[in-house]
Chains A and B, each alone.
Chain A
């Protein structure tokens, strides 16, 4: 096969993997949107906050250390413990559940029945609040996430770097200039985890009592209320699950690029994924992510390649900034509800 084509395929596969990572964030959106009609802009910041909390708890950071030191002139820094990753994850899940309860009690409760746009803006406010709060609590420096879990057979943490096995077994496709496909092991793990999450969420919503209640609420708020489902409990559960999904996304992205502020910006990447897949569909989030991830990598590969330059007289780069949005926009013009979304029916 020609070298260019192989590189193109490599870009496509890597894009697919990155797309699945976008889907991890998009999943949290879909869950909350389905159950409460809230378009949760804070999902990305929740991922950041969860990852910050995880790292902070694990390394025994003193919360608000910087602030306390400034105000009282102390020199607090660490508690001096180092928790095993599994315990830290459990604690972080606990924090996210607490977060869900607080959000429901102090924000959502007061906004029941408001316009969806007002709720959306409230979550933007929540996102800013959480971002400031997370930075104050754990500091804004870039943190390295350490996921070594000997109990689960991962003594060195999540695998990093390219997979040699894939490189060796794909080398035969090209000539001696081709070294095989470079695919990050972490991305493969991410794809696996996303698959597990989706399947377990679907099983959960289909075969458990709570899951059925969730679907009932998603279908019709008031009907669900009238058969005795507590909306507030359901919302807490949904936000807690979304918090858990955020934690998973935060860990995966944190392992990829360090736990830092830019993590919260993946929200913006998850939005076109949602639009493409439809706001209400869990498989849609995954497939939308794959289309967006692959599309932007392949598009960038094509428009920045030399033969595109020869043919058109110019090349483009850094198109990943906008490609996803423009693709989603064009797509929506033809299919306003996204790929798998419920058809929007307007009744008068």
Chain B
């Protein structure tokens, strides 16, 4: 039979410990990766890259980051947009201050800077819990956006107040700037998304991830069994902000090319990422990707159907989008509070027992 542990003999401890214990799962992911790396770049065109694939990868990274904070560590945050702005502006400052630095490292360093900012805004989480914390993270959102808007040093005193990404290359291929090819942009984002997903998956499987979940499930009990809440919470803020910073940096440098902070990183973006992880699944790496795919694809699909096929005016389509997103969120929470990822988990469990469920 397929999809069984049975017959898949693990000979070493490392094998027993691998991320995907089932053979079929493992091969499934290999196939997905092979398609993503090998076939998609050959058939990609400008529309698909800029409307679907690149935003999907970037939002997945952001959703991954927020999921670590909200889904794994249980600290509700509404400051995602602000932290993405930190990533974007630090990569802009790095790109313009160090023209020779490789963009790959710039993106990662931007993530590290965002992590530091995230830790600062995470400090109150030791005193403030639940909703109070959610509202407190709004302080980060509004303060950071305001800061990047008002302090001219951040946008190099440009008259428009916008920042725009200069051309940078990785191994000879342009990945940022107006002339970069969709393939290069896509692969650059893909490499980062895969690396970070691998990093996040392994982090959440280990000691650190388990201490996050202990804090989420009951912080007092976690403290009693020896989980240090200060370290754990700040770690979650740091890792989450790192991922969000990377996604913000990519969003600015690779995807948009030029941004105006209030428009690109407003409070709406914070909610968008939150919706992604609710619909996709709180506390699930796969869920972050599913949620991002869903919320990136759905507006494109709706727009194609309503504006393209039915000939509706754009404003009606926009209202419908709000309505449908709201409806889907309520529906997900009522039917399956753990998101689409939970459906997948249930399916897997059923598959394992099939065809003799008893």
Contacts and interface: CB of A to CB of B under 8 A. Distances in A.
Contacts of B128: 329, 332-333, 336
Interface string B287-324: 00000000000000000000000011101100111111
B76 A117 contact: yes
A313 to B, nearest CB: 14
A325 B127 contact: no
A320 B38 CA distance: 51
B173 interface: no
A39 B127 CA distance: 20
A66 interface: yes
A130 B326 contact: yes
Contacts of B220: 346, 348
A334 to B, nearest CB: 8
Interface residues of B, number: 48
Given A117-B76, A124-B274, A275-B135, A132 B334 contact: no
B112 to A, nearest CB: 24
Interface string B316-358: 1001111111111110011001000000000000000000000
B136 A122 contact: no
Interface stretch (A6-14, A17-25, A47-55, A108-116): A108-116
Contacts of A114: 333, 337
B129 interface: yes
Interface stretch (A133-141, A234-242, A252-260): A133-141
The B interface is mostly helix, strand or loop, or mixed, namely helix
Nearest to A272: B135
Nearest to B322: A132
B99 interface: no
B237 to A, nearest CB: 15
A126 B325 CA distance: 10
B325 A326 contact: no
B136 A136 contact: no
Interface centre among B135, B271, B328 (most CB of A within 10 A): B135
A317 interface: yes
B258 interface: no
Interface string A299-326: 0000000000000000011110110011
Contact of B333 (A111, A133, A317): A111
A20 B129 CA distance: 27
A326 B139 CA distance: 5
Given A70-B313, A318-B146, A126 B322 contact: no
Contacts of A135: 315, 319, 322
A318 B74 CA distance: 33
Interface of B: 74, 76, 124, 127-132, 134-136, 138-139, 142-143, 145-146, 149-150, 220-221, 224, 267, 271, 274-275, 278, 311-313, 315-316, 319-330, 333-334, 337
6 contacts: A136-B323, A322-B139, A325-B135, A325-B142, A329-B139, A333-B127
Interface of A: 39, 66-67, 70, 107, 110-111, 114, 116-118, 120-122, 124-133, 135-136, 140, 268, 271-272, 274-275, 279, 316-319, 321-322, 325-326, 328-329, 332-333, 336, 338, 344, 346, 348
Question: What 10 A-B pairs come out closest when comparing CB atoms?
Answer: A129-B326, A125-B329, A132-B323, A128-B326, A132-B322, A325-B139, A322-B142, A322-B143, A125-B330, A110-B334
Given A326-B139, A329-B136, 9 more contacts: A118-B337, A121-B333, A125-B328, A125-B329, A131-B322, A133-B319, A322-B142, A325-B135, A325-B136
